[in-house]
């Protein structure tokens, strides 16, 4: 699911140097920053069970959902590796101009993430005033910002506390955003709007820039089927006149010295988007795209809090709820509960997390996991770490049967099922994912450096 195209790091550094020279001439400041997180891990994924579901039409369980054992050099286990350039220019009287350009780095092979976008995480310009800050461009969503403030870890591939935000790509980094933020003492807030945060005319797990052929239309002879793309894909954020991809978000946080609490809201208008699996059923769908259902909007909210005790222990918890409003009778509702603890002994941080993500209707499937970790901080910027954990999917019932397919439907918990539907991009365990009705176990050790 994670695209690894051309590397643009050298170009990024050249651009940063150019920006730095210009900023110095204008009494501003420019900073190059980032994080590289790499680990060696072992993944043990048991065979899934897709019998009787749409996923199973392509073959037996052992083919579609096979057992997997793999040793990897994996990126972004405890933090998301990235490279950024940011700058500020004081304008006087409490006014300030700012910009941020930030790209995801796939550090095991030196390429860029987010479909190879040079600045796939953030690319915005802002004006700070005495009464708040206005930003324009691709930005972190208020929902993702809330998870960054609420987690005890770092929103990497093993941060199960952040499972809720990872269930929908449009809750993470968003195109075409207009936002307003304010900070007063320990209180902070942000609201945002986008005319299309990243929803193509058709949704599938394909990471593609292809144009979208209407359902039932036969592509030109010899051409590949054009299946749409994942939510938040490279060309999905083009503004249109049908209201597709409109997104609203809000976040409010209390950031005290010991107590931090945050709440966030997200809504994606997905009108005219068909959410489906990209497998070929030629008599029914000549272009290879079989729509399973159409959805009108996605809404979600979260609440989280954490408290740091004087003896070095932090405790945190979060509650997340999301809902897909469909054009049919079933509106899948999902809920995520997470609890985390962190204890610091000198330079050593010990971390433990448990979470459960569940469809409260629909398939009633659930994903339950735990994660144990240790970070030894060699300095403020460098750490060596270890992580070990497991996520188990319980597929629940078979739901949303399609009579054209002999009644075959969908099954699985949110983490396992929303990946093949194109909602998310396998964030779990740095892309290892989880098979439907199966366990994924991992153990890894690595190095993290921030600059």
Residue 14 has pLDDT above 70, yes or no: no
Residue 79 has pLDDT above 70, yes or no: yes
**pLDDT-derived band of residue 391, with 50, 70 and 90 as boundaries?**
very high
**pLDDT-derived band of residue 268, with 50, 70 and 90 as boundaries?**
very high
For the segment 218-255, what is each residue's pLDDT rounded down to a tens digit?
Answer: 445 455 556 678 899 888 998 988 888 999 999 999 99
CA separation for the pair 177, 138 (Å, rounded):
6
Residue 437 has pLDDT above 60, yes or no: yes
β-pair type (202-203, 111-112): unpaired
**pLDDT-derived band of residue 273, with 50, 70 and 90 as boundaries?**
confident
State residue 60 phi and psi, 5-degree precision.
Answer: -75, 165
For the segment 83-121, what is each residue's pLDDT rounded down to a tens digit?
Answer: 999 999 999 999 999 999 999 999 999 988 888 899 999
For the segment 133-189, what is each residue's pLDDT rounded down to a tens digit?
Answer: 999 999 999 999 999 999 999 999 999 999 999 999 999 999 999 999 999 999 999
**pLDDT-derived band of residue 281, with 50, 70 and 90 as boundaries?**
very low
The whole-number pLDDT of residue 280 equals: 42
Q: Beta-strand (E) ranges in 346-381?
A: 348-359, 366-377
DSSP per residue, 116-182: G-TT-SEEEEEEEETTEEEEEEEEE-HHHHHHHHH-SS-BSTT-GGGTTGGG-GGGTEEEEEEEEEE
């Amino acid at each position: 699911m994670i695209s690894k195209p051309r590397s643009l790091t050298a170009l990024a550094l050249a651009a940063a140097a150019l920006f730095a020279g210009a900023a110095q001439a204008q009494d501003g400041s420019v900073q190059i920053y980032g994080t590289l997180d790499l680990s060696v891990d072992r993944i043990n994924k048991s065979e899934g069970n897709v019998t009787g579901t749409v996923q199973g039409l392509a073959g037996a369980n052992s083919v579609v959902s096979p057992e997997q054992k793999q040793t990897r050099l994996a990126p972004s286990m405890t933090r998301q590796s990235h490279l950024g350039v940011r700058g500020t220019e004081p304008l006087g009287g409490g006014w300030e101009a700012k910009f941020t350009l930030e790209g995801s780095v796939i550090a095991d092979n030196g390429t860029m993430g987010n479909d190879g976008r040079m600045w796939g995480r953030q690319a915005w310009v802002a004006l700070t005033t005495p009464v708040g800050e206005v930003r324009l461009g691709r930005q972190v969503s208020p929902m993702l910002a809330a998870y960054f403030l609420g987690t005890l870890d770092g929103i990497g591939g093993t941060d199960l506390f952040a499972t809720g935000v990872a269930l929908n790509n449009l809750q993470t980094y968003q195109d075409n955003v207009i936002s307003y933020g304010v900070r007063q003492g320990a209180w902070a807030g942000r609201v945002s709007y986008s005319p299309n945060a990243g929803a193509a005319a058709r949704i599938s797990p394909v990471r593609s820039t292809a144009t979208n052929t209407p359902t039932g239309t036969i592509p030109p002879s010899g051409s590949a089927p054009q299946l749409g793309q994942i939510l938040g894909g490279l060309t999905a954020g083009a503004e249109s006149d049908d209201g597709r991809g409109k997104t609203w978000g809000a976040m409010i946080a209390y950031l005290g010295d010991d107590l931090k609490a945050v709440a966030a809201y997200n809504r994606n208008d997905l009108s005219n988007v068909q959410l489906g699996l990209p497998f070929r059923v030629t008599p029914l769908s000549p272009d290879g795209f079989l729509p399973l259902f159409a959805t009108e909007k996605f809404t979600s909210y979260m609440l989280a809090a954490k408290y740091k005790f004087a003896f070095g222990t932090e405790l945190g918890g979060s509650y997340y709820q999301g809902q897909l409003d469909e054009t049919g009778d079933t509106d899948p509702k999902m809920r995520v509960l997470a609890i985390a603890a962190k204890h610091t002994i000198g330079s050593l941080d010990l971390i433990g997390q448990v979470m459960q993500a569940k469809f409260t209707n629909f398939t009633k499937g659930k994903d339950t996991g735990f994660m144990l970790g240790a970070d030894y901080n060699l300095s403020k910027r460098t750490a060596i770490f270890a992580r070990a954990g497991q996520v188990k999917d319980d597929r629940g019932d078979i739901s949303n049967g399609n009579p054209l397919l002999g009644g075959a439907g969908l099954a699985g918990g949110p983490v396992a099922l929303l990946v093949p539907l194109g909602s998310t991009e396998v964030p779990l365990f740095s892309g290892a994912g989880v098979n439907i009705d199966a366990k994924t176990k991992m153990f890894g050790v690595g190095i993290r450096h921030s600059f």
